[in-house]
Amino acid sequence: MLTKFSRVCMIVIIAAVFAIVGISADAKVKLTMVETITSPERTALIQGFLNEFTQTHPDIEIELISPPYEGSDQKLNLMLNTNQPIDVYEVRDFFIKGYVNNKKLLDLSEFTKDWPEYENLLPLTQKVMHIVDDTPYFIPYGYFIKGLFYRKDILEEKGIAVPTTMAELIEASKKLTDPEKGTYGFAFRGGSSEVKFTDVFAMSYVDNIDPEVGYMTTDGQAYFDLPQAIQGLKDWVTLYQEGSPKDSLNWGWNEQVSGFVSGMTPLLWQDPDTVAICLQRLGGDEKFSVAPMPVGPSGKVYLDYGNAGWGIASYSEHKQEAWELIKFLSSKEVNVPFSKHNGTLPISKAAMEDPYFSSGVYAGWKEMFENQDKYIFILLPFDKEEYAQFTQEHRTDFQNVLLGKMSPEDAAKKWADVWRQVYAK
């Protein structure tokens, strides 16, 4: 017979066994995910996707951390540098090299090598995944790439065809310009980030820009002061002087879009996140559309591609589950609605075939993706410490060129010298 003490011990053991079984049955893997390009609407959208994921993965729960946008990058860096719990986090193009150098991003090769969806990704997506050390450190979720926005109603009224070359862009802008009536052709960008617009125009005059080495040609020359690039810079100045509002010397995004929507400047270069505001302000797409970017005398146009995506923290304790989440977020079923809301171009061939992106205002971007011998996606030298200061000095110099205080030749030589020195190190 069991003694009283034995019975008590057995009860305790049985209770402990049931407790352990209960814990095991109810145990869930907790993933921590951090987004940084935050807004209330976007956070709600992502949370909805995460809820879908956990419904089909009942053994996983997810905490979404969404810091205020103004300090979100600093918050993420603090969490990473102190090894706070993070499994999946938002990786932006400006910061990926730093994350890799600090060993905070996981090499995804073991996951992507057997990923059936890989072959369906756009060639650009496959390239961007491997942008650092030819290693897949993250999966992009979308791109910002410039297109030629044009007012269908105004061009049709004036009998002007949509420009397909830089020369046609200049001529169309001249024809549309009547300062006395307050109408012009092109929504010029002379303010913040003008370098990204000036580069597109001037580079299109050069036929051998190196897509992997920012601002250099394939034979190792800084492109700025090549004779053909200087001609491109001069023609860009002509476009400002004869086809754009004079105050566009200082225009940024808001002024460009306002000029386009009002009809003052019916031609505009902008990214796909501008589509939504044009649809809203113009009451749909009857009055505007987006064409492929014009090509230069080289027959090409070189376009940088802003991007961001999802990566896994190198120290995550739940790498397999984190990868399952990234696969889900990268699927067409999620990437299409996310891209529509986010104003980005999607990452896969299947997503680009969605009617929303394969027709209407997005058809121009689809054409560029399908003709990458003409529309060449290039990497700008964001990873160089000199880049930020260069862009500031470029704006000052370029405005002086527009005002006639500096010659195109002097400006081009100054810019070329900067990058000759950078790459000579």
Reported confidence tier of residue 385, pLDDT bands at 50, 70, 90: confident
> How far is residue 197 from each of residues 189, 201, 216, 252, 274, measured CA to CA in Å?
7, 7, 17, 11, 16
Q: ∠ CA(230), CA(236), CA(239), 5° rounding? A: 150
Q: Is residue 26 predicted with pLDDT exceeding 80?
A: no
Reported confidence tier of residue 1, pLDDT bands at 50, 70, 90: very low
- 211, 379 in Cβ contact below 8 A? yes
Q: Residue 168 is encoded by which pair of tokens?
A: 């046609």
Q: Is residue 9 predicted with pLDDT exceeding 90?
A: no
**pLDDT reported for residue 3:** 56
**Per-domain residue ranges of the chain:** 29-144+306-352, 147-304+375-424
Q: Is residue 17 predicted with pLDDT exceeding 70?
A: no
Residue carrying the six token digits 């001609």: 231
User: Each residue of 172-198: pLDDT tens digit?
Assistant: 999 999 999 999 999 999 999 999 999
Cβ within 8 Å of residue 10, ≥6 positions away: 2
> How far is residue 372 from each of residues 99, 141, 265, 379, measured CA to CA in Å?
29, 20, 29, 14
**pLDDT reported for residue 6:** 56
Q: What is the CATH number of domain 29-144+306-352?
A: 3.40.190.10
Among the residues of 57-122, which ranges form H helices?
72-81, 96-101, 109-112
Amino acid at 126: Q
Q: Is residue 365 predicted with pLDDT exceeding 70?
A: yes
Give me the chain's average pLDDT, please.
Answer: 94
**pLDDT reported for residue 13:** 57
**pLDDT reported for residue 60:** 98
Using H for helix, E for strand and C for coil, what is the string for 107-166? CCHHHHCCCHHHHHECHHHHHHHCCECCECCCEEEEEECCEEEEEHHHHHHHCCCCCCEH
Buried b (16+ CB within 10 A) or exposed e, 59-75: ebebeebbbeeeebbeb
Q: Is residue 317 predicted with pLDDT exceeding 60?
A: yes
Reported confidence tier of residue 4, pLDDT bands at 50, 70, 90: low
Pairing of strands 267-270, 147-151: antiparallel
Buried b (16+ CB within 10 A) or exposed e, 217-245: beeebbbbbbebbbebbbbbbebbeebbb
**pLDDT reported for residue 82:** 97
Reported confidence tier of residue 383, pLDDT bands at 50, 70, 90: confident
Higher-confidence position of 38 and 383: 38
> How far is residue 254 from each of residues 33, 164, 187, 418, measured CA to CA in Å?
32, 25, 11, 30
User: Each residue of 101-114: pLDDT tens digit?
Assistant: 999 999 999 999 99
**pLDDT reported for residue 349:** 95
Mean pLDDT of 145-160: 98
CATH number for 147-304+375-424 (one of 2.130.10.30, 3.40.190.10, 3.30.70.420, 3.50.50.60): it is: 3.40.190.10
User: Each residue of 113-135: pLDDT tens digit?
Assistant: 999 999 999 999 999 999 999 99
Percent of the chain whose predicted confidence (pLDDT) is above 90: 91
**pLDDT reported for residue 24:** 44
Q: Is residue 330 predicted with pLDDT exceeding 90?
A: yes
Q: Is residue 25 predicted with pLDDT exceeding 50?
A: no
Amino acid at 369: F
CB atoms within 10 A of CB 79: 19
**pLDDT reported for residue 339:** 96
**pLDDT reported for residue 10:** 58
**pLDDT reported for residue 11:** 54
Q: ∠ CA(158), CA(159), CA(162), 5° rounding? A: 105
What kind and span of H or E run contains 422?
A: helix 408-424
Whether the domain at 29-144+306-352 and the domain at 147-304+375-424 fall into the same CATH topology = yes
User: Each residue of 226-279: pLDDT tens digit?
Assistant: 999 999 999 999 999 999 999 999 999 999 999 999 999 999 999 999 999 999
